[in-house]
């Protein structure tokens, strides 16, 4: 086991030298916007755009976090945008060829907001506009929003205008089909499972005109184009009212299922994974739409379409096969009677795909492969819908597939994606163990307790690495929020002149005050990363405990693990999360043997409610603390007051005297042509006073926000009163 842990997570210097050179060149340019540094930075961007090993862009170390911060500044700073914006977009297009980097750009860097403003504000050629929009389409897939944001309110009308104008031009013989498709796909990605986006779409756009254009495209020759129009039509109507959703289901239900299967067949035949992915997304939307299940169940040609998909899978590429596995998993979850005869063939293929995926990589955990997670999800869907007879015959296939993902190699090195894959394998084992007692007995024979305990030490080590990176990320976030960029020692040594340092401070202090996607997304992602590690640990404990009911060796190992002090913080963290499945697992581990099962369910529900309220209160306090002055790295006003050396023991009159003294000295120096005598201490005093002023402004903004909140509540009550009076008058009429 010691061989497994020979890797070190603290080796931040292992990131690419190219990343470090780019960060250094970026800071050089931010400090002195000269032609020399401009040329050097352009050269670094060109070099990075041709890199073949895209793993260097994964945000695993602090250098990569700084790299993403520099990219964001190059896309947002007015002067930098002129020279570098399109080169940065080209680099991001190249980076999205890696799935982990694509997910990092979407969730951790949150680059979509920056690209949205770039697309809207810059005058781009048609080719650049189309490539940028296509990049947004790719990044926006799977994007989740918890609340409306300013960039979204500006982007949605822009997308709707592109769709409506493009459809009008195409109907009159104009071009723009690719542009319309990218806009449709981006809008559909944003609307899926995002009620906030649907509400904003109805409020801030001409949604009736959009619906009319979507209906006019039902006879389009492009099936993917027509499928997107159908999905958006269902999504918008489902968000409006029950009557509207029923009407949409009646109009689209008969053709939607057939169109989904046709697009999936075309994608598999042409080895186009994006088409199969679109079919999966739309199938999920159709299944979730009101009044659509009856159309799904009543469709008669499942056998014909699914048999075609299975026949064509033998000749398609691995990416397409993975997307097809996801589509089949969605179909299996719908529990359609016509598909039961295909379950043995699907199961055999899924196990074969997992074995091929494992053989293509030196280790299924040590090398991230999103295909394996999809295949595990397909097996999980089959496990929940197939009958016991099939499972009895194919049990060994399930065990073989799960074991492939639980065994570690000497070269193993975790990542968040690989931990997620491990969780999928543990879910599969747990589902098998609780499905039937004979399955649990077979698992105790096939698996050994050491297999699960061997996962604990590397998981704990990786969890410590993620926690350390999260704390260091907070420090970088604070520096970025205060200064706009973090200077390393090499760059600082090149900026010793007073004039250069003065310009550096002025430039950094006027950095963009918009939403820092890197800072917010990075903190959010790594909080989720710690929780993901805790979930993996809790699921290992749960599996060992379940198998321990059938085998004393597993129960003995479970008691040993549960007595480990290093594991309990992860159990408590899952208990304090807002995800009910995790809370239930943690509560069962802590209290399962001490309270009845009915009381256990009540405890889980009450714990979830308490966690949600606590998270809401803590989120509100963080937003309030970051709301004024644009300082996102400070947790509270009190902390800001304590950090300011200028405010400690100083009265307002003392502050004004110090400022007047500094201003007088700077005025004398400014009258001379040579600025070399500018004292750096005077500049520090000025910026400390500016920090104090921003602190007082923040307090004033808090007061204004509280008053605005009271007014908002009064207006809401007045609105409810008016609605009740309106209803009463309607009844009288």
- The pLDDT, as a whole number, for residue 716 is 65
Give buried/exposed letters for 218-234 (b at 16+ CB in 10 A, else e): eebeebbbbbbbbbbbb
Residue 98 pLDDT > 80, yes or no?
Answer: yes
Q: Once rounded to an integer, what is the mean pLDDT over residues 97-103?
A: 89
Give buried/exposed letters for 392-417 (b at 16+ CB in 10 A, else e): eebbebbbebbebbbebeeebbbbbb
Contact 650, 623 (CB under 8 A): no
Most confident of 241-245, 308-312, 520-524: 308-312
With a pLDDT cut of 70, the percent of the chain lying above it is 69
Residue 134 binned pLDDT confidence (cut-offs 50, 70, 90): very high
Looking up tokens 């060796």 gives: 553
- Please report, for residues 365, 463, 503, 520, the alpha-carbon distance to residue 533 in angstroms, rounded to integers and kept in the order given: 14, 6, 44, 20
- The pLDDT, as a whole number, for residue 566 is 83
- The pLDDT, as a whole number, for residue 647 is 41
Under DSSP, the state recorded for 106 is I
Q: Once rounded to an integer, what is the mean pLDDT over residues 376-405?
A: 79
List the single range of 349-353, 516-520, 548-552 with lowest mean pLDDT. Answer: 516-520
Q: If we measure between CA atoms, which residue out of 437, 660, 627, 630 comes closest to residue 549?
A: 437
CB-based contacts of 126: which residues, under 8 Å, 6+ apart? 179
- The pLDDT, as a whole number, for residue 525 is 41
Under DSSP, the state recorded for 342 is G
- The pLDDT, as a whole number, for residue 246 is 64
- Higher pLDDT residue, 35 or 621? 35
| Packed helices 680-732 and 652-670: angle between N→C axes, nearest 10 degrees | 120
Contact 219, 167 (CB under 8 A): no
- Helices vs. strands in the chain: H and E counts, helices first: 33, 0
pLDDT digit string, tens, across residues 488-515 = 333 333 333 323 333 332 333 333 323 3
- The pLDDT, as a whole number, for residue 510 is 31
Contact 339, 361 (CB under 8 A): no
- The pLDDT, as a whole number, for residue 637 is 36
- What mean pLDDT, rounded, does the chain reach? 74
- The pLDDT, as a whole number, for residue 301 is 87
Report the C-alpha gap between 288 and 290 in whole angstroms.
Answer: 6
Task: Report helix, strand or coil for 13.
Answer: helix
- The pLDDT, as a whole number, for residue 88 is 93
With a pLDDT cut of 90, the percent of the chain lying above it is 14
pLDDT digit string, tens, across residues 272-299 = 999 999 999 999 988 888 778 888 888 8
Backbone angles phi, psi at 438, to 5 degrees: -65, -30
Q: If we measure between CA atoms, which residue out of 325, 305, 304, 321 comes closest to residue 313?
A: 321
Backbone angles phi, psi at 110, to 5 degrees: 55, 55
Looking up tokens 């700084």 gives: 66
Under DSSP, the state recorded for 315 is G
Residue 191 binned pLDDT confidence (cut-offs 50, 70, 90): very high
Report the C-alpha gap between 442 and 457 in whole angstroms.
Answer: 26
Contact 259, 302 (CB under 8 A): no
- Higher pLDDT residue, 727 or 571? 571
Q: Once rounded to an integer, what is the mean pLDDT over residues 205-225?
A: 82
Residue 189 pLDDT > 90, yes or no?
Answer: yes
CB-based contacts of 562: which residues, under 8 Å, 6+ apart? 541, 589
- Please report, for residues 71, 129, 173, the alpha-carbon distance to residue 125 in angstroms, rounded to integers and kept in the order given: 22, 6, 21
Residue 622 binned pLDDT confidence (cut-offs 50, 70, 90): very low
- The pLDDT, as a whole number, for residue 629 is 38
List the single range of 305-319, 437-451, 563-577, 601-615 with lowest mean pLDDT. Answer: 601-615
pLDDT digit string, tens, across residues 674-711 = 555 556 666 666 666 667 767 766 777 766 776 776 67
- The pLDDT, as a whole number, for residue 633 is 37
CB-based contacts of 23: which residues, under 8 Å, 6+ apart? 63, 66, 67, 70, 488
- The pLDDT, as a whole number, for residue 130 is 93
Report the C-alpha gap between 467 and 470 in whole angstroms.
Answer: 5
Round to the nearest angstrom and report the end-to-end CA distance of the chain.
Answer: 80
Residue 670 pLDDT > 70, yes or no?
Answer: no
**CB atoms closer than 10 angstroms to residue 478:** 18
**CB atoms closer than 10 angstroms to residue 73:** 25
Residue 135 binned pLDDT confidence (cut-offs 50, 70, 90): very high
The number of CA neighbours under 13 Å toward the Cβ of 243 is: 0
- The pLDDT, as a whole number, for residue 91 is 94
Q: Once rounded to an integer, what is the mean pLDDT over residues 122-147?
A: 91
pLDDT digit string, tens, across residues 423-450 = 888 888 888 888 888 888 888 888 888 8
Residue 631 pLDDT > 80, yes or no?
Answer: no
Contact 271, 320 (CB under 8 A): yes
Residue 397 pLDDT > 60, yes or no?
Answer: yes
Report the C-alpha gap between 677 and 95 in whole angstroms.
Answer: 46
Query: What tokens does 391 get?
Result: 């499972």
- Please report, for residues 6, 74, 87, 659, 706, the alpha-carbon distance to residue 16 in angstroms, rounded to integers and kept in the order given: 21, 20, 20, 45, 48
Most confident of 2-16, 165-179, 182-196, 612-626: 182-196
Query: What tokens does 724 get?
Result: 């009740």
Q: Model-level pTM greater than 0.85?
A: no
DSSP characters over 142-177: T---SS--HHHHHHHHHHHHHHHHHHHHHHTT---H
């Amino acid at each position: 086991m010691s061989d497994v842990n020979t890797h070190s997570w603290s080796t931040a210097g292992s990131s690419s030298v190219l990343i470090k050179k780019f960060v250094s060149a970026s800071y050089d340019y931010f400090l002195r916007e000269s032609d020399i540094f401009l040329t050097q930075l352009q050269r670094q961007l060109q070099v990075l755009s041709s890199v073949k090993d895209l793993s260097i862009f994964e945000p695993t170390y602090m250098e990569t976090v700084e790299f993403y911060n520099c990219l964001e500044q190059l896309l947002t700073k007015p002067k930098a945008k002129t020279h570098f914006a399109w080169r940065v977009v080209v680099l991001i297009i190249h980076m999205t060829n890696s799935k982990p980097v694509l997910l990092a750009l979407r969730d951790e860097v949150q680059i979509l907001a920056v690209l949205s403003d770039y697309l809207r504000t810059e005058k781009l050629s048609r080719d650049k506009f189309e490539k940028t929009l296509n990049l947004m389409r790719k990044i926006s897939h799977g994007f989740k929003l918890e609340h409306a944001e300013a960039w979204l309110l500006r982007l949605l009308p822009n997308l709707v205008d592109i769709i409506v104008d493009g459809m009008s031009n195409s109907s009159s013989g104009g071009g723009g089909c690719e542009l319309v498709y990218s806009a449709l796909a981006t809008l559909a990605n944003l609307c899926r499972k995002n009620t906030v986006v649907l509400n904003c779409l109805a409020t801030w756009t001409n949604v009736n005109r959009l619906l009319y254009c979507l209906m006019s495209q039902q006879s389009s020759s492009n099936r993917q184009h027509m499928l997107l129009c159908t999905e958006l039509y269902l999504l918008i109507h489902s968000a409006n009212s029950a009557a509207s959703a029923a009407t949409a289901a009646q109009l689209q239900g008969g053709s939607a299922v057939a169109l989904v299967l046709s697009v999936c067949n075309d994608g598999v035949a042409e080895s186009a994974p994006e088409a199969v992915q679109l079919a999966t997304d739309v199938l999920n939307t159709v299944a979730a739409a009101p009044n659509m299940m009856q159309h799904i169940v009543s469709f008669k040609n499942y056998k014909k379409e699914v048999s075609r998909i299975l026949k064509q899978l033998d000749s398609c590429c691995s990416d397409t096969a993975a997307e097809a596995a996801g589509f089949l998993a969605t179909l299996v979850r719908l529990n359609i009677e016509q598909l039961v005869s295909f379950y043995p063939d699907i199961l055999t293929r899924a196990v074969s795909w997992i074995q091929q995926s494992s053989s293509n990589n030196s280790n299924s955990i040590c090398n991230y492969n999103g295909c394996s997670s999809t295949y595990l999800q397909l097996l999980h869907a089959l496990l929940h819908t197939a009958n016991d007879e099939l499972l009895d015959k194919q049990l060994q296939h399930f065990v073989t597939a799960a074991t492939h993902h639980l065994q570690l190699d000497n070269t193993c090195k975790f990542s968040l994606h690989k931990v997620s894959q491990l969780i999928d394998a543990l879910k599969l084992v747990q589902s098998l163990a609780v499905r039937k007692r004979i399955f649990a007995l077979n698992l105790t024979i096939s698996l050994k307790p050491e297999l699960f305990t061997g996962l604990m030490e590397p998981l704990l080590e990786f969890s410590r690495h993620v926690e350390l990176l999260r704390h260091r990320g907070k420090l970088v976030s604070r520096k970025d929020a205060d200064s706009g960029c973090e200077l390393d020692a090499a760059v600082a040594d090149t900026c010793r002149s007073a004039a250069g340092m003065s310009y550096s401070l002025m430039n950094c202090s006027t950095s963009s005050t918009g939403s820092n996607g890197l800072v917010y997304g990075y903190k959010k992602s790594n909080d989720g990363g710690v929780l993901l590690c805790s979930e993996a640990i809790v699921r290992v404990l749960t599996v060992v405990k379940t198998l321990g009911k059938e085998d004393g060796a597993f129960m003995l190992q479970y008691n040993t693990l549960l007595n480990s002090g290093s594991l309990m913080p992860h159990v408590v963290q899952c208990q304090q999360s807002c995800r009910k499945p995790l809370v239930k697992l943690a509560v069962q581990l802590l209290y399962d043997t001490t309270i009845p099962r009915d009381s256990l369910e009540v405890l889980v529900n009450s714990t979830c409610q308490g966690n949600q309220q606590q998270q809401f209160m803590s989120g509100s306090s963080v937003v309030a603390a970051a709301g004024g002055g644009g300082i996102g790295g400070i947790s509270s006003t009190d902390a800001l007051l304590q950090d300011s050396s200028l405010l400690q023991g100083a009265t307002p009159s003392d502050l004004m005297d110090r400022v007047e003294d500094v201003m007088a000295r700077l005025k004398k120096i400014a009258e001379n042509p040579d600025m070399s005598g500018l004292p750096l201490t005077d500049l520090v005093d000025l910026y400390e006073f500016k920090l104090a002023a921003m602190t007082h402004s923040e307090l004033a903004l808090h007061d204004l926000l509280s008053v605005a909140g009271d007014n908002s509540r009064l207006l809401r009550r007045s609105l409810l009163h008016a609605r009740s009076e309106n209803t009463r008058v309607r009844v009288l009429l």
